[in-house]
Amino acid sequence: MGGSTTLVINEIDYDQPSSDTAEFVEIYNRSSDPVDLTGVALIFVNGGVAPPVEYGRVSLAGTLQGHGYLVVAADAVTVAAGATKLPLTVAIQNGDPDGVALFDTTASTMIDALGYGGAVVGATLNNVSGTWDLLEGTAATVKDSSTAVRSLIRQPNGQDTDNAASDWKSTATATPGAANP
């Protein structure tokens, strides 16, 4: 995917049993060098409409240390020691498909993306020209669950082969701000 290959969306928990009060998206810096997050946004996309559209955005800030974790999370989420936490200011949609993108707003490039519950292609993003695919290789078929505690993770931790079907797995052990099991 275009942009930096250093930052990846590493884990997402968008659906919980009963009410969705523990939603989060984890970003991981795969490099040993710090990364400036100026101009980087986490963008949420409704893939259940045609064309898919942005419904929320969280602007990131600061610096993410080498091999560090940034977790954009609801208040109820506790992150691992040493991880950075930013508030999640939007309810993450649970539809099939929906998606999330890590986007460099300065360079207008997609850093990383995940369409969950199916492929999200041809999305329009607010204040960004063109359309965007939230798809790497073959779409991931794994989904979160509204009846069991689960999250979607890159396995192994931080792996990005540019094929969502290979990189993403479902787990019963959420690890916001720590390495995936």
* Per-domain boundaries in the chain: 7-168
The pLDDT, as a whole number, for residue 18 is: 85
Q: Which of 102, 120, 105, 117 is nearest to 64 (CA)?
A: 102
**Whether pTM exceeds 0.85:** yes
Q: How far apart are CA 25 and CA 14, in angstroms?
A: 8
pLDDT, mean of residues 7-12? 98
Place of tokens 């790497």: 136
Cβ neighbours, 10 Å, residue 125: 21
Q: How far apart are CA 134 and CA 125, in angstroms?
A: 11
pLDDT digit string, tens, across residues 121-140: 999 999 999 999 999 999 98
Place of tokens 């998206």: 25
Q: How far apart are CA 11 and CA 179, in angstroms?
A: 10
The pLDDT, as a whole number, for residue 21 is: 92
Q: Is the pLDDT of residue 35 over 90?
A: yes
Q: Which region holds residue 5: left if phi is over 0, alpha if psi is between -120 and 50, else beta?
A: alpha
Q: Do the Cβ atoms of 70 and 58 come closer than 8 Å?
A: no
pLDDT, mean of residues 104-126? 95
Q: Which of 156, 34, 150, 32 is nearest to 84 (CA)?
A: 34
* CATH code matching the domain that covers 7-168, chosen among 3.40.50.720, 3.30.470.10, 3.30.70.360, 2.60.40.1260: 2.60.40.1260
Q: Do the Cβ atoms of 173 and 29 come closer than 8 Å?
A: no
pLDDT, mean of residues 94-112? 95
Q: Do the Cβ atoms of 125 and 132 come closer than 8 Å?
A: yes
pLDDT digit string, tens, across residues 139-155: 988 889 988 989 999 99
Q: Which of 36, 90, 22 is nearest to 68 (CA)?
A: 36
- Across the chain, which distance is largest between two alpha carbons, in Å? 41
DSSP label at residue 14: -
> In sequence order, what are the beta bridge partners of 63?
36
CA of 96: how far to CAs of 26, 115, 140, 156, 180, in Å? 20, 9, 12, 25, 24
